[in-house]
Amino acid sequence: MSNYPQGFAHYPLYFDPRQQLALIDAVKAGVETAPFFQPTMPRTGNPLSVVMSNFGPLGWVTDKVGGYRYESVHPKTGAPWPKLPDALQNLWDAVSGCDAPPEACLINWYREGSKMGLHIDNDEKDTRAPVVSVSLGDPALFRLGGPHRGGKTQGLKLFSGDVVVLGCESRLCYHGVSKVYYGESALVPRGGRINLTMRRVNPVERDAT
Ligand code: MD3
Ligand code: FE
């Protein structure tokens, strides 16, 4: 039985294979200037199993000393993150219901054995806007729980080209990736799965009328 939280939407194969290739090309171009970096956990310095980069004015980074945060420049090169590709801005406009553009687009690359433990995304000051996610390459088993740690979770297999929108209640639900079906897709050049997540970070400034 599927009973998803309010604000959760899944669009299977939103992007067809040709569009998926174009997105991979955009990621390839982005990581030429903003190479994948190895994120590490606050305090322990343990590496996350994914490597990351970002598009847009802000990027999510984490390391032992600074912890989870948004930064306007790449942690290694010090350069601004590359501009968000138009295809992703168009996706945001089509499915987010948010007038303001996303400020950050996190690029997660899952290689053989990579996973992501259950967590809540709450490093954003504005959690009213949804998170919009695009899956590319190998399928993954995504898990979505409730607002409390230790509650029930349900699994959903995400395939290349799938889009997931996490708004309202689902925005603050526990979620993670328990498994990647490594080697099932040949889309990603060096293998694995790429996940893109667009977010608002700061509250939208509205003009007083
Ligand atoms: C549910 N990424 O980057 S995407 C993350 O597949 C993250 O790489 C996973 O969790 C991935 O933080 C899941 C789908 C997703 C993204 C953000 C969410 C689900 C979410 C925020 C709130 C609730
Ligand atoms: Fe997350």
Q: Which domain holds residue 135?
A: 8-199
Q: How confident is the model at residue 46 (pLDDT cuts 50, 70, 90)?
A: very high
Which residue has the least CA distance to atom 23 on ligand 1? 171
**Domain membership flag for residue 207:** no
pTM for the predicted model, two decimal places: 0.97
**Domain membership flag for residue 206:** no
Which residue has the least CA distance to atom 11 on ligand 1? 195
Query: How far away, in angstroms, is 195 Cα from ligand 1 center?
Result: 8
Exposed, middle or buried by CB within 10 Å (0-12, 13-18, 19+), for 166? buried
Q: Which amino acid is at 153?
A: T
Query: How far away, in angstroms, is 129 Cα from ligand 2 center?
Result: 14
| Measured distance CA(1)–CA(180) in Å, rounded | 23
CB of 195 shorter than 6 A to ligand 1: yes
Which residue has the least CA distance to atom 17 on ligand 1? 131
Q: How confident is the model at residue 158 (pLDDT cuts 50, 70, 90)?
A: very high
**Domain membership flag for residue 128:** yes
Which residue has the least CA distance to atom 7 on ligand 1? 176
Instruction: Using the predicted structure, report yes or no on whether residue 2 has a pLDDT greater than 90.
Output: no
Query: How far away, in angstroms, is 172 Cα from ligand 2 center?
Result: 9
Q: Quick one: which atom of ligand 1 is closest to the CA of 108?
A: 8
**Domain membership flag for residue 90:** yes
Ligand nearest to the CA of 110: 1
Phi, psi values for residue 150, rounded to 5°: 90, -5
pLDDT 10s digits, 7-29: 999 999 999 999 999 999 999 99
Residue 206, classed as helix, strand or coil, is: coil
Which residue has the least CA distance to atom 8 on ligand 1? 195
**Domain membership flag for residue 105:** yes
**Domain membership flag for residue 140:** yes
Q: Which residues pair with 51 in a beta bridge?
A: 109
Ligand nearest to the CA of 197: 1
Query: How far away, in angstroms, is 43 Cα from ligand 1 center?
Result: 23
Phi, psi values for residue 25, rounded to 5°: -60, -40
Contacts of 189 (CB under 8 A, 6+ apart): 24, 28
**Domain membership flag for residue 186:** yes
**Domain membership flag for residue 2:** no
Q: How confident is the model at residue 208 (pLDDT cuts 50, 70, 90)?
A: confident
Q: Quick one: which atom of ligand 1 is closest to the CA of 174?
A: 23
Q: How confident is the model at residue 111 (pLDDT cuts 50, 70, 90)?
A: very high
Q: Give the CATH number of the domain where residue 115 resides.
A: 2.60.120.590
Q: How confident is the model at residue 209 (pLDDT cuts 50, 70, 90)?
A: confident
- Vertex 76: Cα angle to 74 and 78 (nearest 5): 50
Total domains in the chain come to 1
Distance of CA 87 to the CA centre of its chain: 15
pLDDT 10s digits, 130-157: 999 999 999 999 999 999 999 999 999 9
